[in-house]
């Protein structure tokens, strides 16, 4: 049996076995942001350590940036202090920083691919759980904590246990109105939020091959929501076409050599896996979450589960979810009223997401009483959207079109739910309190579904609006 | 760097018996607007503990029966979601020294280990009996023995599971990895020089 991509890339980067039994893994690309890195730099200072390969680390600012006005100093002094710490740290240690003063600032998982920093065959680490996004290119990418950021800065390596690999084979045509987001929400619903513990997910099969790079990123992005720290796809012509001509992509003859190398990385047909799961994409409906974790997703025409029908080990969790959501068990999700519509995040803040949403919004108005806003994932996405006139489509409909950042995905900036508001959100987590109000409620769905919910003031089936 | 061995941890328990407790629950994002980990202990489980007017919701962390507890007992997939090390830091600063659960999210368990908090797994039945024991007798001393892989109470002993590399590094006091990684500087540079994308994809 042949090696899959995961094991090929891991072996190339493995420095050796530590006495603990963990592997010492070289990290080819390290991405940092303002929330999880300042303490790591402080630890370096306390120990008198430097950054071993500052040219392999890149920084941006995303989590705390306000999206209404991005002028400095920020009105929130805590956010301003975090911004200043990142400025100081990147300057002192010689790290490239895509700040708000550049054209390339944005959510870390959006700018890496956009700049061509993310490439097949790399190991990529970032102090953010959605780092698996970069796996869409055939990289092994995963989230790490602050102590591990310290290790990567100091040694360009980290101590880590090698996970097993599960192949997720997806076949079948997607129905109209069903998007990459629906595929991953369906995988979460089928395998559960802890189904991926101990695994890296390789998403493969004919459906995956037909997806664009942006769609692939949406799927890999949410691997962690299913418990898998790593999610990736095999690189192919779609990957190479995306990478050609980007700022940090190889150029000229080097690009040609790179493509040959990248092709050889892909898992061969006889590659070995520890487990396999198969999904028929034609059976997927537009998905909506009704509960408090991303595994609580159902097709938009389905009813919410009844506690008594759930497996015994899930009942307490479902009861807890209903207690927070204040929904009636067994009721339809279709028609559920919403207060806020949020389009953005590292899951769905790319240009194709904005296009999909704008197609639904065009010529329609946001329902009265709904606060609706679009937060592009990066300055480049915002620029492209303006060039295509998408900003005007959204604004004419009554959406706000904001500056780039993480925004209401995790509400570390001023964008927050109030009280027990319900948001239709294209983000990745519906955890209790996630969107800034401890009583706030989040319904995860695709950007097009959010757009359709925004103009109706309630959850609708986007298939009727395309 | 010399670190204490975490081979045997003794303390009383705090049962927080739910599954899929995410790190946003453990430390809400608004408390992460800081460039240090100082003071996070006050905000551990904040929204699960307090109503918006500041009154108590009666969370186990505020239950007088469990006061002084240092061993968190929980369910399945504890620490899922965000990679924020602020979560284990908040628990540690609150006074949690070890976590016993059915299973743990991977990034979370790595973060806990790297700051010296053992996360050990018991099977579902055993976690439930342990939690029940603590609920009935809150002052019960619990011992987590990483050498013999046992959770012990005066009533009953349980077999614990933990990844062997985590067990070894905690029990031996070598869980801070930076020094060990730095020892292999030459090999790091060798791997680096041989990477295709560093060599310009020249064979």
Q: What is the pLDDT of residues B84-118, one digit of tens each?
A: 999 999 999 999 999 999 999 999 999 999 999 99
Q: Number of helices (H) and strands (E), helices first, in chain A? A: 16, 19
Instruction: Report the complex ipTM.
Output: 0.97
Q: Looking at beta carbons, which residues of chain A come within 8 Å of B165?
A: 18, 20-22, 159, 161
- Quote the CA–CA distance of A408 and A169 in Å, as a whole number: 32
- The answer for residues whose C-beta is within 8 angstroms of residue B153's C-beta and 6 or more apart is B130, B133, B140, B141, B142, B143
- pLDDT at B2 (0 to 100): 78
pLDDT, tens only, A311-353:
988 899 999 999 999 999 999 999 999 999 999 999 999 999 9
Which of B79, B85, B124, B198 would you mutate first to test chain A, the one with the most A CBs within 10 A?
B85
What pLDDT is stored for residue A1 in this prediction? 76
Q: How far apart are CA A355 and CA A416, in angstroms?
A: 24
Q: Tell me, what's the pLDDT at B193? A: 98
Domains identified in chain A and CATH numbers: 5-160 (3.30.499.10), 164-283 (3.40.1060.10), 287-465 (3.30.499.10)
CB contact under 8 A, A194 and B110: no
Residue (of A139, A204, A209, A152) closest to A31 by Cα position = A152
A166's enclosing H/E stretch is strand A164-171
- Asked: is B8-174 a CATH 3.20.19.10 domain? The reply is yes
Alpha-carbon separation of residue A406 from A61, A95, A110, B60, B139 (angstroms): 9, 22, 10, 33, 44
In whole angstroms, give the CA distance from residue B79 to residue B106: 8
Of residues B12, B14, B13, B93, the one with CA closest to residue B60: B14
Residues 6+ apart with CB under 8 A from A263: A235
Give the integer Cα–Cα distance in Å for A175 and A193: 25
- A70 pLDDT exceeds 70? yes
Q: In this complex, which of B29, B81, B197 lies closest to A411 when CB atoms are compared?
A: B29
Q: How far apart are CA A138 and CA A122, in angstroms?
A: 8
Is B192 within 8 Å of A146 when comparing Cβ atoms? no
Give yes or no for residue B135 having a pLDDT over 70.
yes
Nearest to B77 among A81, A159, A193 (CB): A193
Q: Work out the end-to-end distance of chain A between its first and last CA atoms, rounded to an integer number of angstroms.
A: 45
Optimal mutation site among A155, A264, A428, interface B, most CBs of chain B within 10 A: A155
Of A20, A143, A193, nearest to B107 by CB-CB distance is: A143
pLDDT tens digits, A185-200:
999 999 999 999 999 9
Identify the band that residue B158 occupies on the pLDDT scale cut at 50, 70 and 90.
Answer: very high
Cβ distance A160 to B110 less than 8 Å, yes or no, reads yes
Does residue A34 carry a pLDDT above 70? yes
Q: What is the mean pLDDT of residues A163-178?
A: 98
| pLDDT tens by residue, A355-369 | 999 999 999 999 999
pLDDT value of residue B203: 81
Domain edges within chain B: 8-174
Query: Contacts by B136-139 with C-beta closer than 8 Å and gap 24+?
Result: B138/B12, B138/B13, B138/B65, B138/B66, B138/B69, B139/B12
Q: What is the pLDDT of residue B1?
A: 61
Cβ within 8 Å, pair B19-A128: no
Which tens digit of pLDDT belongs to each residue from A402-414?
A: 999 999 999 999 9
User: Over the stretch A375-422, which tens digit does the pLDDT of each residue have?
Assistant: 999 999 999 999 999 999 999 999 999 999 999 999 999 999 999 999
Alpha carbon distance, N-terminus to C-terminus of chain B: 40
The per-residue pLDDT for A313 is 87
% of chain A exceeding 90 in pLDDT: 98
Q: How far apart are CA A141 and CA A27, in angstroms?
A: 9
A254·B85 Cβ contact <8 A: no
Measured between beta carbons, which residues in chain A are less than 8 angstroms from residue B105?
Answer: 194, 197, 227
Contact A254 B187 (CB under 8 A): no
Percentages helix, strand, coil for chain B (3-state, rounded to 5) are: 40, 20, 45
Q: How far apart are CA A37 and CA B84, in angstroms?
A: 10
- pLDDT band for position B70 (cuts 50, 70, 90): very high
The b/e string for A61-88 (b: 16+ C-beta within 10 A; e otherwise) is bbbbbbbeebeeebebeebebbbbbbbe
């Amino acid at each position: 049996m042949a090696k899959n991509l995961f094991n090929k890339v891991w072996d190339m980067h493995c420095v050796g076995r530590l006495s603990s039994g963990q592997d010492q893994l070289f990290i080819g690309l390290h991405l940092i942001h303002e929330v999880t890195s300042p303490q790591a730099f402080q630890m370096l200072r306390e120990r008198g350590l430097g950054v071993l390969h500052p040219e392999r680390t890149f920084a941006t600012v995303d989590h705390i940036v306000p999206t209404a006005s991005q002028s400095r100093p920020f009105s929130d002094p805590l956010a301003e202090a975090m911004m200043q710490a990142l400025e100081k740290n990147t300057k002192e240690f010689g790290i490239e920083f895509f700040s708000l003063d550049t054209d390339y600032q944005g959510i870390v998982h959006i700018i890496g691919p956009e700049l061509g920093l993310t490439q097949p065959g790399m190991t990529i680490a970032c102090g953010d759980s959605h780092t698996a996004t970069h796996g869409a290119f055939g990289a092994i990418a995963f989230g790490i904590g602050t102590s591990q950021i310290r290790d990567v800065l100091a040694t360009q390596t980290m101590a880590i246990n090698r996970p097993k690999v599960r192949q997720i084979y997806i076949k079948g045509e997607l129905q109209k109105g069903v998007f990459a987001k629906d595929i991953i929400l369906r995988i979460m619903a089928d395998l559960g939020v802890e189904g991926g513990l101990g695994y890296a997910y390789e998403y493969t099969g004919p459906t995956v091959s037909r997806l664009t790079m942006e769609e692939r990123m949406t799927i890999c992005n949410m691997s962690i929501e299913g418990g898998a720290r790593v999610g990736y796809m095999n690189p192919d012509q779609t990957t190479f076409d995306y990478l050609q001509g980007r700022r940090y992509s190889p150029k000229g003859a080097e690009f040609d050599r790179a493509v040959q190398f990248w092709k050889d990385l892909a898992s061969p047909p006889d590659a070995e896996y520890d487990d396999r799961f198969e999904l028929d994409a034609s059976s997927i409906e537009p998905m909506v979450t009704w509960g408090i974790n991303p595994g609580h997703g159902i097709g938009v025409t389905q009813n919410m589960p009844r506690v008594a029908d759930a497996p015994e080990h899930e009942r307490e969790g479902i009861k807890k979810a209903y207690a927070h959501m204040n929904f009636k068990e067994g009721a339809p999700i279709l028609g559920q009223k919403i207060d806020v519509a949020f389009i953005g995040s590292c899951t769905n803040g790319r240009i194709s997401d904005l296009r999909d949403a704008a197609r639904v919004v065009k010529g329609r108005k946001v329902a009265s009483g709904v606060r609706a806003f679009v937060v592009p994932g990066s300055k480049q996405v915002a620029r492209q959207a303006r060039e295509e006139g998408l900003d005007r489509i959204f604004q004419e409909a009554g959406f706000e079109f904001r500056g780039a950042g993480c925004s209401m995905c995790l509400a570390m900036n001023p964008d927050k739910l109030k009280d027990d508001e319900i948001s239709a959100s294209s983000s990745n987590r519906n955890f209790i309190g996630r969107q800034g109000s401890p009583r706030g409620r989040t319904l995860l769905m695709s950007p097009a579904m959010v757009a359709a919910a925004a103009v109706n003031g309630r959850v609708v089936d986007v298939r009727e609006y395309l | 760097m010399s670190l204490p061995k975490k081979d045997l941890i003794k303390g009383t328990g705090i049962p927080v018996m739910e599954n899929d407790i995410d790190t946003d629950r453990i430390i809400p994002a608004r408390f992460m607007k800081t460039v240090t980990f100082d003071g996070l202990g006050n905000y551990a489980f904040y929204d699960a503990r307090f109503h918006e007017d500041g009154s108590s919701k009666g969370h186990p962390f505020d239950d007088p029966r469990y006061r002084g507890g240092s061993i968190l007992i929980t369910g399945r997939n504890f620490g899922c979601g965000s990679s924020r090390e602020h979560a284990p830091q908040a628990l540690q600063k609150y006074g949690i020294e070890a976590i016993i659960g059915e299973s743990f999210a991977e990034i979370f368990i790595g973060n806990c280990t790297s700051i010296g908090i053992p996360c050990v797994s018991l099977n579902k039945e055993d976690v439930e009996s342990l939690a029940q024991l603590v609920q009935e007798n809150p002052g019960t001393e619990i011992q987590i023995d990483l050498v013999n892989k046992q959770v012990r109470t005066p009533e009953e002993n349980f077999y614990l599971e933990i990844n062997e590399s985590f067990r070894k590094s905690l029990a031996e006091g070598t869980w801070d990895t930076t020094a060990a990684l730095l020892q292999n500087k030459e090999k790091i540079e060798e791997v680096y020089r041989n990477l295709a994308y560093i060599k310009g994809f020249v064979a």
